[in-house]
Structure 1
Amino acid sequence: MKLPASMPRLKGFRHPREIIAYAVWTYHRFALSTADVEDLLAERGVIVSRETIRLWVNRFGAHFADFIRRDRPSAADKWHLDEVVIPINGIKYWLWRAVDADGDVLDILIQPRRNAKAAKRFLKRLIAQFGAPRVVVTDKLRSYFKPIRDLAPNADHRAHKGLNNRIEGSHRPTRKREKIMGRFKSPRQGQRFLATHDQINTIFRPRRYRISTISYRHSRSDAFQLWADYALEMTA
C-alpha cells in the first residue's frame, strides 16, 4: 500500500507516519501477527520490533476506526443481532455483535452475561449511535424480546434462526484472529481489538460477490485514499 511520501512527521515518533499507518493496516487487513508485520517491514528495509508494532496498533488502530465510523454512510434500518461465546482466561464471555442489512458491522460489545440486562445494554448503545431500527432480526434467545419491546417499540422484531444467517459470517474473522492471537487476554483487549478490526474490515472487505470487478477496484482505491487521509490526521 503506497501512502504519500510528503506526509509530515508525527511528533515524538522516530518512524514516518506512512510506516505506522502501513503497519496498522497490514495487521488488521490480513490475518497477521505482529511478528509477521515485523518481517514485512524488515523486507522493505524498516527495522522495528514487534513490541513497537503492538504499541502502534493499540494506539492508532482506534484512530482509524473512529474516523471510519465518522465518515461511514448512514446505517441501514434493518439490524441483525447475535451473540457468540469467547473464552478469556478460562472464563466464558459473550461477544454481542450487530450488523445492518448491507452486512456492515455496526458495533460489538463483550459482556460476561447472555441475559436481558446484557441485551438491553447493547441495544441502548446501538440506538444511541444510529437511532431506532425499523427491523431487528435475532435468533430465538428470549433475552432479546423485552429490551427490543421497551427500547424500540415500533421495530418489527423477527426472531428466527434461519433469518439471522447474515451475521453468522461476521463471526468467522473473529475466530480466525482469536486463534492467531492465542485467544484474547482480557475483555478490554478483546473489545479494543474487535471494535477496531471490524470497522477497518468494513471498508477493505466489501462483499465482492455482489459487485463487479470494476466496482470492486474503485472501492479498493477509495479505501486506500481514505486510509491515506486518515493517516494525515493522526496526532501524537
Structure 2
Amino acid sequence: MRLQSKTAIVTGAGSGFGAGISRKFAAEGARVLVADINADAAREIADEISGVACAVDVSDSASVQAMANQAISEFGHVDIVVNNAGVTHLPAPLDTISEEDFDRVFAVNCKSVYLIANALTAHMKARSSGTILNVASTAGVSPRPNLSWYNASKGWMITATKAMAVELAPFGIRVNALNPVAGETPLLASFMGEDTPDRRAQFLSTIPIGRFSTPEDMGNAACYLCSDEASMITGVCMEVDGGRCI
C-alpha cells in the first residue's frame, strides 16, 4: 500500500500504459480518476479498480478544467497527476506529415501538459505538496526516422519535465517523467506502420532485453516515482526501455 490515502488523476487511462498505471495505483491504495477521451473505456477501467471515470479531451482547456474540478470534488484534493495521454502520426518522411496531424500530435502530447499544469499547479502549491509524472518516450532521447514530429513532441515533454521540476521544487511539487520503449498498447501498430511479425522482430532487435514495455512495467515505475519513497527525486526522466537507449 505504497500510495495509501493518495489521490491521482491518470490521463489516457482507458487502455495501454494508462490503464496499467491506474491498476497499479489502485492496488497500492490510491483513489484514481480514470480520465480518457473514450468515456466507455474510462468507465470500464474505473469500474474494475473502484475508481472514478472521467471523459476528457486533454487538448481542450475547458475539458481539462472540468476534469480537475471533478477530481477535487470527488477526492477533496489531488496528490498525483499522470500526463499519459498521447498520440502519434503514422511513420512517414517529415515533409509529408500533414499540418492537421502535426497540430494533433502537439496538442495532445504537449499542450495537454501546459493545460493540466494551469488547472492544478495552484492547487498543489496551496497544499505545498504534489507529484506530476509525464509519460514521454525513448523517442525523445533516441529518435527513429519517419516519426520526426512525434519524436520532437516527446523531446519537448522531457525538457518541460526538467523545467517544471526546477520551478516547482520550492513549492513541494516533484515532476518526473517515464521514457518507455514501444509497448503492447493501441499505439504500437501506428509506430510500426503495420503490425506484422517481421516488423515486430525488427523493433525487438533494438531492445537488448528482447521484449516490449508492458502496462505492468509502466505501472511499477510510475508507482515508485509517485510514492514517498522517491521524495528526493525530481527532474528525472526514467527510461523503461529494456536497454534501448544504451
TM-score, structure 1 length as denominator?
0.30
Whose relative contact order is higher, 1 or 2, with alpha carbons under 8 Å and at least 6 apart?
A: 1
Which of the pair is proportionally richer in helix?
1
Computing the radius of gyration from Cα coordinates, the structure with the larger value is 1
TM-score, structure 2 length as denominator?
0.29
